[in-house]
Amino acid sequence: MADESFDLLGCLERVRQRDQLAARQLVEHLYPLVSRIVRSHLPRRVAEEDLAQDIFLKMFTRLEQYQGNVPFPHWVSRIAVTTCIDQLRAQKRRPEFRWADLSENEAEVLDNILTDERDVAPGQALAARELVQKLMAQLKPDDRMVIQLLDLEQKTIAEISGLTGWNQTLVKVRAFRARRKLQKLFQELQSKERS
Amino acid sequence: MNRFDRQWQKLIVAARQAPAETGATVPYGFATRLAAQAAALPATPWLPLERFAWRGLLVAAVCGISAIAFNYSVFTTEQTDIYATGTTDVVVDLLDIS
């Protein structure tokens, strides 16, 4: 969060009293947090701004339900994550994953990974991230969310449980299922000739 | 760690090294538009309903308890007098158990 001196509780109180200026300040204060979550879990063909808007509207609608049991940014994060999951569920599944779907850099990264020859060069980090996103797009939305949070964002099982509302066993099961699906995907790609 | 785990870890570690995307500034007019939309939202429709529901439940409970208290004696006397007061119950007449 950018501004440490921001009076969040005071702002929330004013928002509850329908103060538009406070509502604007609250959006500006929380936008970096919401934007980061949206970018990490953005479904295809959904505009980042539209999804962020949905999340903020949900936040305003449910503001009276906020009891202060958890920090407010955490509460908003949960709304953001569940909204992203809903959007991911709504999108249709991708067709079969092929080498041809990858850019030249992504294909090179995948080649390096699958042949176990070299490490991924530091300059290929961006391509690696794009590749991971494309691979994860093959997973079910819930499984994808778990892998994103667990492997990419390095959150703990307990943190994921808190963010998604799923119990810890379910998170572990989804992570296991997702990795198995990814393993299958890797095996399929390995068996196919790179075109 | 099997082969896939090794490969996946290598890929994930590389992906994590990608620079964080910048540009998390609020788009122009976004906050103002949202603040206006928030102001136009109906004022928390569920909370007043919830209050009404709890009040309704309380009133119903008081009515129920009062009804039982007022009629308790009637229930008990009717149960004891059913055979003693010359009832015209058909079953009692048929079986001749009065």
Looking at A92, A111, A137, which one is the last position of a domain? Answer: A92
* A136 shares a domain with A118: yes
- For chain B, which residues make up each domain, given as ranges? 45-98
Whether this model's ipTM surpasses 0.85 comes out as no
> Per mean pLDDT, which of A88-102, A172-186, B84-98 is the most reliable?
A172-186
- Our CA-based measurement puts residue A42 at a distance from the nearest CA of chain B, in whole angstroms, of 13
- Please answer yes or no on whether B34 and A53 come within 8 Å at the CB atom: yes
Interface subset of A 57-96, CB within 8 angstroms of B: 57, 60-61, 64
The Cα A109–Cα A111 span in angstroms is: 5
Percentage of residues in chain A having pLDDT higher than 70: 91
* A100 shares a domain with A58: no
Cα-flanking dihedrals φ and ψ of residue B33, to 5°?
-60, -45
* A20 shares a domain with A76: yes
What are the b/e assignments for B30-59, b being 16+ CB within 10 Å? bbbebbeebeeeeeeeeeeeeeeeeeeeee
Encode chain B (98 residues) as per-residue pLDDT tens digits: 688 888 888 888 888 888 776 656 888 888 999 888 888 877 665 665 676 788 899 999 999 999 988 888 777 765 555 555 555 667 767 776 65
- Please answer yes or no on whether A24 and B35 come within 8 Å at the CB atom: yes
- Please answer yes or no on whether A113 and B39 come within 8 Å at the CB atom: no
The Cα A137–Cα A143 span in angstroms is: 10
**pLDDT on residue A194:** 57
> Per mean pLDDT, which of A110-119, A184-193, B79-88 is the most reliable?
A184-193
pLDDT tier for residue A168 given thresholds of 50, 70 and 90: very high
**pLDDT on residue B23:** 58
The Cα B96–Cα B49 span in angstroms is: 58
Q: Which is more confident, B82 or A107?
A: A107
- Please answer yes or no on whether A27 and B34 come within 8 Å at the CB atom: yes
Q: Measure CB to CB from residue A35 to each of B11, B19, B24 and give the nearest one.
A: B24
Least confident of A49-58, A93-102, B53-62: A93-102
pTM of the model: 0.64
Looking at A92, A123, A147, which one is the last position of a domain? Answer: A92
* A166 shares a domain with A100: yes
- Our CA-based measurement puts residue B2 at a distance from the nearest CA of chain A, in whole angstroms, of 10
- Please answer yes or no on whether B8 and A179 come within 8 Å at the CB atom: yes
Percentage of residues in chain A having pLDDT higher than 90: 32
Q: Which is more confident, A65 or A170?
A: A170
Say whether residue A120 is in contact with chain B using an 8 A CB cutoff.
yes
The token duo for B25 is 């500034």
**pLDDT on residue A146:** 92
- Domain at A76, CATH number: 1.10.1740.10
Structural domain boundaries enclosing A192 = 95-195
Q: Measure CB to CB from residue B11 to each of A15, A128, A187 and give the nearest one.
A: A128
Looking at A92, A124, A146, which one is the last position of a domain? Answer: A92
* A172 shares a domain with A108: yes
Three-class SS string for A141-194? HHHHHHHHHHHHCCCCHHHHHHHHCCCHHHHHHHHHHHHHHHHHHHHHHHHCCC
- Please answer yes or no on whether B27 and A49 come within 8 Å at the CB atom: yes
**pLDDT on residue B85:** 57
* A27 shares a domain with A13: yes
- Our CA-based measurement puts residue A186 at a distance from the nearest CA of chain B, in whole angstroms, of 8
Question: Number of folded domains in chain A?
Answer: 2
- Please answer yes or no on whether A154 and B16 come within 8 Å at the CB atom: yes
Q: Which is more confident, A112 or A74?
A: A74
**pLDDT on residue B90:** 72
* A100 shares a domain with A88: no
Q: Measure CB to CB from residue B44 to each of A32, A56, A64 and give the nearest one.
A: A64
**pLDDT on residue A147:** 92
* A182 shares a domain with A152: yes
The Cα A77–Cα A53 span in angstroms is: 14
Collapsing DSSP to helix, strand or coil, B95 comes out as helix
Which residues on chain B place their C-beta less than 8 Å from a C-beta of chain A?
Answer: 3-8, 10-19, 21, 24-27, 30-39, 41, 44, 47
- Our CA-based measurement puts residue A187 at a distance from the nearest CA of chain B, in whole angstroms, of 9
Task: Round the CA-based radius of gyration of chain B to a whole number and report it.
Answer: 37
Q: Which is more confident, B38 or A93?
A: B38
Q: Measure CB to CB from residue B31 to each of A24, A120, A182 and give the nearest one.
A: A24
The Cα B86–Cα B88 span in angstroms is: 7
DSSP letters, A26-95, are HHHHHHHHHHHHHHHHPPTT--HHHHHHHHHHHHHHTGGG--SSS-HHHHHHHHHHHHHHHHHHHSPPP-
Which ranges of B2-45 does DSSP label H, i.e. alpha helix?
Answer: 3-16, 30-40
> Per mean pLDDT, which of A85-94, A119-128, A182-191 is the most reliable?
A182-191
Locus of tokens 């329908």: A18
Q: What is the pLDDT of residues A129-148, one digit of tens each?
A: 888 888 888 888 889 899 99
